[in-house]
Structure 1
Amino acid sequence: MTKVLVAGDDFVAPELFADALIGAAPGHTLDFRTLRTGWPVEPFGPVGGVKEASGTEEQVIEALGDAEIALTQMAPFTAEVIKQAPNLRMIGCCRGGPVNIDLAAATAAGIPVTYAPGRNAAAAAEFAVGLMLAAMRRIPASDADLKKNIWRGDFYAYENAGLELDGATVGLVGYGAIGSIVARVLKAFGAHVLVADPYTDKDKALSDGVELVVLEELLRRSSVVSLHARVTPETRHMLNADNLRLLPQGAVLVNSARGDLLDYAPLPGLLESGHLGALALDVYDIEPPPADWPLHSAPNVITTPHLAGATRQTADRAAAIAAGEAARFLRGEELRFVANPEALPGGQRS
């Protein structure tokens, strides 16, 4: 019998993990213990040296007990949690990156940590395109005003009229799983797609029908720019006061990837001047943004509360990927998505 902690929340529930693992590991006897943290009603945050976590170290330690495998969405697996779990042999995180897990501590303990790449790619791509359309066609502003009995006929005036994706040049900063889906959708609309991504080669870009360029050229040529890169020391604030001014007058900027990719400080001024025609955001430098955040009162800003990945299919897919890795671990098979491969082979403690 294998003892398994399923640490979920109100998005990826413990039951989703348990059902997925039962289906992925037929023939294995599993003893589940559960933990349900408060996310997403309660915002995630730093806990014990890890980021974007929900719940406390004490909750996880108590729930783990002598579990050998843990599947989690956002529960904090800190150095202290790992120290207090001597039987733990594998952690499966159902996120694109296991930022709520102390990888150094897990590696030192010989515990492989898996993750779930692409779990929300379709959802995030669809949401990004939705933000583009909402910003380009003033959909939220029109809706809000009509509910106040204000008929925005002035949006039909030429200088106020919206923009089409058909024939537009759209720049995608980052071309991984999400960016490539966005490109496919944009091309169906008739857009010309530019891509800035140092990890994408020209042959792939050519076969996908997109144009590979450096970031500065993308900004100069794109009437719409959407961010889809990962955050690294090199990509933090990759769009900033200096290069945002390269955008054409009235350009639309969308960020549904990560807040740290964008320097938010110059955005209010760029919007007030009209250099940025519209801004659509799902992620922020501080989440949630404070009440006095300058962009709350800036013109032509659409904001949503980090919802790009919020679909039922994403939750189901995330649980299935994590459970699939745990099932491979139980069978002694090679794991597919290991964040700390140096903890292999075997996932045994050092």
Structure 2
Amino acid sequence: MTVRILAAGDHFVRTGLLADALRAEHGGAPETLEIGELHLPWPVEPFGDVAEVHEASGTEEQLIEALQGVRICVTQMAPLTRRMLEACPELELFAVGRGGPVNANLEAATEHGVAVTFAPGRNATATAEHTVALLLSALRRIPHTHGELARGVWRGDYYRYEEVGMELAGTTVGLVGYGAIGHRVARILGGFGAEVLVHDPYLAPDTAPGVANVSLDELLARSRVLSLHARLTAENHGMIGAEEIAAMPPGSVIVNCARGGLLDYDAVCDALDRGHLFAAAFDVFPEEPVPAGARLLRTPGVVMTPHLAGASKQTAHQAARICAEETARHLRGEPLAHCANPAVLGRGGGR
């Protein structure tokens, strides 16, 4: 029996990585895999909305053509829209190699009996390491001093007491969110000797030994460093604003590698301008790409990277592997490990 699969890769989770992972996971199964390939332009071309889904790459027309006769699609960025589902009746499984399948219309997929899977934790280590790298860069002014030295300016005056940063050892760091990324950050910070506090209303008691889960008010009052690791929801949008920043000790640092919507960036700039914050470090922003002329670009003390925290070679391989594992489970008739629309399975979907 031949199973037609589409590997829709991009310039990060490459098509070849997806295809190789599918073959490796398939092993000696009786089915023959016929793997078609589609190369999407992300990140050379930014992702965007495609019909009713978000953060997608490619067009409905491209995918409809490529998915004819295909039972399984493995991808990171390809869209899955209602129009596509109506045009591709043989599709059974849409495996997305990212932490949340925002590029898939889950309601329409369930209606059409198509299971959608995702890849939680595939970039957790990369994002945790990047968070700490940004934190250290902000604490010790590494990008700023490097930039001046590269221009031939030796700034020995940065050794003045009011200009120097803090050590992580002995510093209280507050983490908002303690999921796959947050707990890795806590473990790394523990190696530096930092005291770690956590605020996570979804954290069950006794699931974080050695880490205190406190109220947001207590976390803000005690933390010299605040790092955000929560998933953005309607309830926590803008959860850190001017009032919360003012509650932090003077000379504090804020880091955000989660989602831009969690934080009021104008309030951060205000706090940096008046000296209440020592520095801030961001990998995510309220608008991406950051517009030319944005206030963040001219506010002193800000360290930025362009939403790259999860970008590592290991992340790409793990995304491909998780998609391939879900594909193998589906073909063996086993329960899926990371199904985003489990209602489809109870209706006999995901054929």
**Normalised by the shorter chain, which TM-score bucket?**
over 0.9
Task: Encode CA deviations 1:251-277: one digit per residue, 9 max, x unaligned.
Answer: 100001111111223222111011111
Counterparts of 1:216 and 1:235, CA distance in 2? 15
Partner residue, 1:265: 266
Compute the displacement of 1:202 (Å): 3.2
**C-alpha contact (below 8 Å) 1:281/1:303 kept by paired residues:** yes
Partner residue, 1:228: 229
Partner residue, 1:92: 95
Task: Encode CA deviations 1:70-126: one digit per residue, 9 max, x unaligned.
Answer: 001011111111111111011100100000001011011111100001100110000
Counterparts of 1:151 and 1:111, CA distance in 2? 61
Equivalent residue pairs, number: 347
Partner residue, 2:35: 32
Compute the displacement of 1:32 (Å): 1.3
Partner residue, 1:289: 290
Structure 2 residue 199 is matched with structure 1 residue 193: no
Compute the displacement of 1:51 (Å): 1.1
Matches within 5 A, 1:251-262: 251-262=252-263
Partner residue, 1:326: 327
Task: Encode CA deviations 1:175-196: one digit per residue, 9 max, x unaligned.
Answer: 0000001001101100000000
Compute the displacement of 1:235 (Å): 1.6
Partner residue, 2:125: 122
Partner residue, 1:275: 276
SS at structure 2 position matched to 1:159: coil
Counterparts of 2:160 and 2:243, CA distance in 1? 32
**C-alpha contact (below 8 Å) 2:257/2:284 kept by paired residues:** yes
Counterparts of 1:49 and 1:292, CA distance in 2? 30
Amino acid at match of 1:269: D
Counterparts of 2:236 and 2:291, CA distance in 1? 24
Partner residue, 2:338: 337
Partner residue, 1:146: 149
Counterparts of 1:223 and 1:318, CA distance in 2? 35
- TM-score normalized with structure 2 length: 0.97
Task: Encode CA deviations 1:203-242: one digit per residue, 9 max, x unaligned.
Answer: 123x2x1111011211111100111011111121111222
Closer, same or farther in 2 for the Cα pair 1:348/1:191, shift >3 Å?
closer
Counterparts of 2:255 and 2:171, CA distance in 1? 15
SS at structure 2 position matched to 1:321: helix
Identify which of 148, 163, 166 aligns with 1:163.
Answer: 166
Partner residue, 2:58: 55
Counterparts of 1:55 and 1:298, CA distance in 2? 36
SS at structure 2 position matched to 1:219: helix
SS at structure 2 position matched to 1:175: coil
Structure 2 residue 56 is matched with structure 1 residue 71: no
Amino acid at match of 1:171: G
Percent identity between the aligned chains? Answer: 54
Amino acid at match of 2:317: D
Compute the displacement of 1:154 (Å): 1.3
Task: Encode CA deviations 1:267-290: one digit per residue, 9 max, x unaligned.
Answer: 221110111111100001111010
Compute the displacement of 1:301 (Å): 0.4
Matches within 5 A, 1:179-218: 179-205=182-208, 207=209, 209-218=210-219
**C-alpha contact (below 8 Å) 2:110/2:349 kept by paired residues:** no
Task: Encode CA deviations 1:123-146: one digit per residue, 9 max, x unaligned.
Answer: 000000001000000000011000
Counterparts of 1:326 and 1:148, CA distance in 2? 52
Compute the displacement of 1:348 (Å): 4.4
Runs of 4+ in 1 over 4 A off after TM superposition: none
